[in-house]
Structure 1
Amino acid sequence: MAAAVVGGLTLAAAFPPWSVPLMAPLGVGAFFLAVNRRGARSGAVTGFVFGLAFFGPTLWWLSASIAPAAWAALVLLQSGWFAVLGAGTALVRRLSYWPVWVASLWTLIEGARSSVPWGGLPWGRLGYTAVDTPWAVSLALVGVAGTSAFVALIGAAVAGTVEAVRARRPVVVVTRPVVVGCVVGGVLLLISVSWLPLEPAEASPSRPGSVSVAVVQAEVPGAGTDVAAHHRAVTSTLLDETRRLAHTWGADGPVVDLVVWPENATAVDPAADATARDALLTAVAVSDAPVLAGSIVDGPTADTALNQGIAWTTDGPGGRYTKQHLVPFGEYVPLRPLAERISARVVDIQRDMVPGIPAPPLRVDDLVLANALCFDVAYDDVLREQVAQGAQLAVVQTSNAMFLGTAQQEQQWMLSRARAIELGRSVVVSSMNGISGAIAPDGSVIDRLPAARSGATVVSLSVEGGTTLAVRLRAWPARTAYALGVAGVLAAGWRARRQRANGA
């Protein structure tokens, strides 16, 4: 149990606010050492304790921003997934080449908890920690899911080395399965590239190798967390910052190709609200460029809404992207009667949002954009599928004002940096009041605005046309790891059944 607690805290240190990514394999290694081969029941308990030690500090921002009860409930739920992981790990640890099986199983559980329940929580995945590490390139090769398997494999090698040294066995016994795992995974991915039906990226309009984008950040009055109560002031502030920035361009300034406002730039539907519509059209006029702004749009019924990014030009609203992955208990409320007892904030969510469907990239003039709204960026499919269809630049619009002053904003920024490497695209982030800026295709930070106050900046970004191997492979690295994880559990179960039969 002590090893489980230390391992969970060590893994938490890989994420903001501590941001020591090299600790990730050590924390995973401690988990595999703690679970060992004591049996599924013991492994489940150990995994649950590890989950508490990991998710407790990693998701602490929920306690301050939502409610302590919400934080406790989510930590317990996610720790339950680690209990499942611990039970499975205890079984597959008895197999030959166990580092391969446990790394695949870890990735399988990450995928499960990123989907269940209510769309899951893809926070705290190992692949995100690869930013600023020697193995960051793996994000461009096998994506976030494949990188999670790779980091878990390193952690298994750490655990195996400790066990080998302690038992005075040759370390080659540990390194061999790691090498075999890398080779097998590489072969499977090559087969996927060669034989699986991967659609090529659509042709994109030709344009210069760089584009100038204005990134605008708002400022929420008062404590800075209640956007709905101050939505008019937020829209006005965004317009003022756009106008101020446009005045500084001057005759010799850069020609801006796109202006990006954050998610919830208008908390009312600009199609029905003249004030919001006028502000957006004025922003287009003063900047002499299209404006991509986030808006809450009326849904198909009176009690529903859509969260959209809308491209505005002098002709009015154009292309739209509708948020696909909504935040449960934030943008819609499952189990509403119970949720209202846990958090008073839920009462303020009067309309449930409706998720969008997978959409092609936005075409704004001759620029093709991959768009994601806030929570979308944590999921593998949204930006990747748009880049596979020819998007040249990725834009993330977010309204995480309620998390102001917490580690959530830095964690989401880390996610955006990982996506930049995975996609091989520059990523623009426009936030309500932090963190806004621009990220290069290699994950490095080009520019970043100060948090908690309004501001704007113009960045020159590269326009890319090719695709990374991770984009071309799409979901196959994850599917490969999932298949190996299931195969490992089945093999361990078959072996245990055979041993019981022989013993009888």
Structure 2
Amino acid sequence: MDRLKALGRIMPRVVAAAAAGALLGFAFEPHDHPWLTIVAVPLLLAALNGISMKAGFLVGAGFGIAYYAVLVPWLSVIGGDAAIALAILEGLFYAVFGLFATQVLKLRLWALWIPCLWVATEFATASVPFGGFPWGRLAWAFSDESLGRLAAYVGIPGLSFLVAFVGVLLYAVLRRGTTLRLRAVALVAGLAIVFGSALIHLSIEGDGQTVRAAMVQGNVPGKGLEFLGRARTVTRNHLQATLDLQKRVEAGTELKPDLVIWPENSTDIDPYKDAETRADIETAVKAVGVPILVGAVTEGPGENERQTTGIVWDPATGPGQRYAKRHPVPFGEYIPFRDQLLPYIKRLEMIGAQTVPGVGPGVMPIRGVTYGDVICFELAYDNVIHDVVKGGAQVLIVQTNNATYGGTGQPEQQFAITRMRAIETGRTVLIASTSGISGVIRPDGSVEHKSAQFVPDVYVATVPVQNGQTLAMTLGGWPEWILTGLGLLGLVLAVVARRRQRVDEDPQNPPAATPSREKVPV
């Protein structure tokens, strides 16, 4: 009965936290209300303040599950159970955050430790399980706001820290018991971060050299075709769009590109082994007379294995440089514990062969310019982006296939993430998608071109080549490691303080008697 009463007392806080989580979900595309982040964070902290660790776990879980339910409903395209499972899994990370935040809030420097603990939570979600799912980072919401420009200096983890910190400062202003002086300091600091970011100017100029690239969005056929027919149609759509581009070049209505980019899965049939697919690609390459970066699914390296790749196909030498996707999607491109799960979940058979991750970054020197190739979801992983920039990439390329999620909001979220990567790296990003969204993003995150979905689209852009590195790229992963370490330090301090308090309050362990100052006779 006592437990039921305790649960009844905590449920209003769980509901409030769930409402805060839902608000946070609406901060992101396709809803795009980024400043809800600054509202959601203090609402969560208010729900966590003054409760036990067990209650904090429930409150945090309510927040996290509601957050991801609103953020990634597009996963229900795969299955409603998949969307629910992901929301619960990711919600548990915020349950752990809530459990520890109840104690961290009692520390004197809680306003520092809490946003660090938030970064540590995002680091965990981006790492485990199965390589993590870094889709819910606060930074992604600010691709269209001046605050997002700070990513060029502090990186994505640093920006998430600052967003959480501003939310914490708002909570400090509103928190009962906060002194007038602390409220004033918090208010000034928050306004300084928000309005100070508006003074930042990010250059879109390169180092004097430019390159011209064509992004080809051939579009995909409607549902209902059998596999080979559908796959061949996608390839031929891109072939035809490329041939049409060359006609415009010959007519003088379009400038000749230096490179043509086809998206991920522009062929799902291995061009090394299928003569018809190879012929289609070579027809396109010979027509335009420049290399085409082809997105292909190739067989191997082992039996019943495959890789999602980008292949540089040269008009003179044929297929050359090749990048294999390093972060394939679990339960989308491969099945963890395949032998154990397949007998019980027959739907997983639709995935087909296991996608094997590639080794090494997608750094591709092509005709005097070094490109960094990134494939679809893996652009959300910091190490993939950092590796190509450190490898010398002067322009970034994202090959993607969002056809499964068209019209669900997922393509818009991925496009926003891509914009943040342009800001963070100071590089132009060229995006080629099978069905949208394709486009060109300038180094300051502004959009030069953005295609519609499920229509053919070919865009030729002349973009700057960049050799310098932003401060964020120079710092690399250090901000995340430092902030995560500080978050864990705050956690340790909170645990130590909790144990000391328990000892002081335990009636069975009275404080030791004060030693007598009387002189002991010899």
Q: Same fold (TM over 0.5)?
A: yes
Provide the secondary structure at the position in 2 that maps to 1:332.
coil
1:70 to partner: Cα distance: 0.7
1:186 counterpart residue number: none
Task: Report the AA paired with residue 104 of structure 2.
Answer: V
1:118 counterpart residue number: 130
State which of 448, 451, 454 in structure 1 corresponds to 2:453.
451
1:191 counterpart residue number: none
Deviates further, 88-97 or 233-242: 88-97
1:341 to partner: Cα distance: 7.9
State which of 1, 4, 26 in structure 2 corresponds to 1:13.
26
TM-score by length of 1: 0.90
Structure 1 residues 171 and 281 mapped into 2: Cα distance closer, same or farther (>3 Å)? Answer: farther
1:469 to partner: Cα distance: 0.5
1:193 counterpart residue number: none
CA distance in 2, matches of 1:240, 1:342: 43
1:209 counterpart residue number: 209
Deviates further, 247-256 or 77-86: 247-256
Contact 2:294/2:310 (<8 A) preserved: yes
CA distance in 2, matches of 1:177, 1:500: 35
Matches within 5 A, 1:302-317: 302-314=303-315, 315-317=317-319
1:443 to partner: Cα distance: 0.6
Say yes or no: does 1:405 pair with 2:387.
no
Contact 2:17/2:60 (<8 A) preserved: yes
Contact 1:427/1:438 (<8 A) preserved: yes
How many percent of aligned residue pairs carry the same amino acid?
36
State which of 80, 91, 102 in structure 1 corresponds to 2:114.
102
CA distance in 2, matches of 1:172, 1:326: 47
1:29 to partner: Cα distance: 1.9
1:332 counterpart residue number: 334
Task: Report the AA paired with residue 86 of structure 1.
Answer: G
CA distance in 2, matches of 1:412, 1:69: 22
1:97 to partner: Cα distance: 1.6
1:431 counterpart residue number: 433
1:266 counterpart residue number: 267
Say yes or no: does 1:145 pair with 2:157.
yes
1:281 to partner: Cα distance: 1.6
Task: Report the AA paired with residue 17 of structure 2.
Answer: A
1:469 counterpart residue number: 471
1:339 to partner: Cα distance: 5.2
Matches within 5 A, 1:188-199: none
CA distance in 1, matches of 2:497, 2:167: 25
Q: Per-residue displacement from partner, 1:263-305 (whole Å, max 9, x unpaired)?
A: 0111122111111212222221111211011111111212111
CA distance in 1, matches of 2:177, 2:496: 28
CA distance in 1, matches of 2:451, 2:128: 35
CA distance in 1, matches of 2:361, 2:498: 47
Task: Report the AA paired with residue 296 of structure 1.
Answer: V
1:238 to partner: Cα distance: 0.1
Structure 1 residues 499 and 226 mapped into 2: Cα distance closer, same or farther (>3 Å)? Answer: farther
CA distance in 2, matches of 1:442, 1:251: 34
1:72 counterpart residue number: 84
TM-score by length of 2: 0.87
1:160 to partner: Cα distance: 1.3
CA distance in 1, matches of 2:225, 2:463: 31
Contact 2:66/2:87 (<8 A) preserved: no
| RMSD of aligned residue pairs (Cα, Å) | 2.3
1:169 counterpart residue number: 179
- How many residue pairs get aligned? The number is 478
Structure 1 residues 413 and 302 mapped into 2: Cα distance closer, same or farther (>3 Å)? Answer: same
Q: Per-residue displacement from partner, 1:42-99 (whole Å, max 9, x unpaired)?
A: 1111000011221111111111x10001111111111111100111111111111212
Say yes or no: does 1:84 pair with 2:118.
no
Provide the secondary structure at the position in 2 that maps to 1:123.
helix
2:300 counterpart residue number: 299
1:136 counterpart residue number: 148
CA distance in 2, matches of 1:80, 1:361: 36
CA distance in 1, matches of 2:125, 2:108: 27
2:379 counterpart residue number: 377
Task: Report the AA paired with residue 459 of structure 1.
Answer: A
Contact 1:310/1:319 (<8 A) preserved: yes
1:22 to partner: Cα distance: 1.6
Contact 2:15/2:62 (<8 A) preserved: no
Provide the secondary structure at the position in 2 that maps to 1:308.
strand
Structure 1 residues 126 and 440 mapped into 2: Cα distance closer, same or farther (>3 Å)? Answer: same
Provide the secondary structure at the position in 2 that maps to 1:136.
helix
Q: Per-residue displacement from partner, 1:108-166 (whole Å, max 9, x unpaired)?
A: 11111111111111111111112122211211011111111111111111111111xx4
Provide the secondary structure at the position in 1 that maps to 2:132.
coil
Unaligned runs of 5+ in 1: 184-205
